[in-house]
Each structure stands twice: as C-alpha cells, then as structure tokens.
Amino acid sequence: MGLINYFEEKRLERERAIRNEQVIDSLKFLASIGAGFTLGVLFAKKSGKETRKDISNATKEGLNYVGKNLNNAKNYIKDKTSDMKEAIAEKYDEIKTKTIPEKIDDFEDKVEDVKEEIKK
C-alpha cells in the first residue's frame, strides 16, 4: 500500500500545482485588464468629464439591456411553467382515468378467480 499512496500523493501534488498555476494566470489576466483600462482612461483623447459621461451612458445602456432581457426571460419562464402545469394536469387526469379503472377491473378479476378456487 505504501507505493500506491506515494503515487496518489504525487498525482494530487501535480493537480494542486496545476490549479495554483491556473489561479495565478487568471490573476495576471485580470491585472492586465485593469492596467489597460487605467492607461486607456489616463491617456484618452477626451476630457475626464466626457469620459465619465461616456462611462455613465454605457453603464445605463448595459443596465437597460440586462433589465429588458431579464423581463423577457421572466416572461418566457412564466409561459413555460404555465404550459408545464397544464401538461402535467392533463397527464395526471389521463393517467388517473386510465389506470384506476384498469386496476379495479384487474382486482375484480382476481377476486373472481379466488372465489372460484375457493368453491372448488
């Protein structure tokens, strides 16, 4: 068992090293985006007032877009849930009307079979 444990520890160690490397790469990527944004704002051809206005407008447009899509998604989900409720109710009624009489008939047949065997 010692050799198997050794290999398992080495495998886990490699996996941890890979995960740590991925986290570091992600942080580097985010830091470079932040640095690029900062440099872009600092060396922009527009004044600070215009840049802030552009950022504000872009944010408002983004929020409107997200809000509209959330409303569309909410309406879509409402429609689908009501359709599913109707379909489930129909299936339930269908199963209820089909299975219960069949089971009653089967039960009555079995009762008759038992009665006949008892009479014999």
pLDDT score recorded for residue 58: 86
What global pTM score does this model have? 0.36
**pLDDT score recorded for residue 120:** 67
pLDDT value of residue 46: 75
Residue 11 has pLDDT above 70, yes or no: yes
Provide the CA 39 distance to its chain's centre, in angstroms: 37
- CB contact set of 41 (below 8 Å; sequence gap of 6+): 51
Checking if the pLDDT of 101 tops 70, the result is: no
Region at 67 (left for phi over 0; alpha for psi -120 to 50; beta for the rest)? alpha
- Domain with 102 in it: 45-119
One domain, residues 34 and 61: no
Residue 106 corresponds to which tokens in the numbers above? 């089967």
Cβ atoms 51, 41 nearer than 8 A: yes
Q: For residue 71, what are its two tokens?
A: 């409303």
Give dist(CA 66, CA 55) in Å, integer.
16
What is the per-residue pLDDT for 102?
A: 67
DSSP state of 47: -
Query: Is residue 100 over pLDDT 70?
Result: no
Q: Is residue 22 domain-shared with residue 76, that is, in the same domain?
A: no
Shared domain check, 62 and 14: no
pLDDT at 41 over 70: yes
pLDDT greater than 80 at residue 45: no
115 and 97, same structural domain?
yes
Instruction: Inform me whether the pLDDT recorded for 12 exceeds 70.
Output: yes
Considering the domain architecture, whether residues 78 and 111 belong to the same structural domain is answered as: yes
Residue 33 scores a pLDDT above 80: yes
Count of domains forming the chain: 2
Answer yes or no: do 80 and 33 share one domain: no
